[in-house]
Amino acid sequence: MSAEIIDQANELEELQREAAIAKYRINHNAVSATHCIDCGDDIPELRRVKVPGCQRCASCQGDFELMKKQGRM
């Protein structure tokens, strides 16, 4: 393998890693919903402060993440 190919592969890996990190970075200026988009219940103020931009109550978020992990989303 040539050094050029290895350099390109390393650059691609770095770009993919940076994109993955950016995807999960929290936007601290995001506005949280006051009511869950799934069940409609109030989202507690503490959750809205601790998880900026949240759109689901903790229970529904847990269900959502489990379904996503299992590939049902």
Q: How confident is the model at residue 30 (pLDDT cuts 50, 70, 90)?
A: confident
> How far is residue 53's CA from residue 6's CA, in Å, rounded to a whole number?
39
Residues 21, 13: contact at Cβ < 8 Å? Answer: no
- pLDDT for 23: 73
Report residue 47 CA to chain centroid gap. Answer: 16
Mean pLDDT confidence for 7-15: 93
Mean pLDDT confidence for 25-44: 90
> How far is residue 60's CA from residue 47's CA, in Å, rounded to a whole number?
13
- pLDDT for 1: 65
pTM for this structure?
Answer: 0.61
- pLDDT for 65: 94
Residue 18 has pLDDT above 70, yes or no: yes
> How far is residue 10's CA from residue 23's CA, in Å, rounded to a whole number?
20
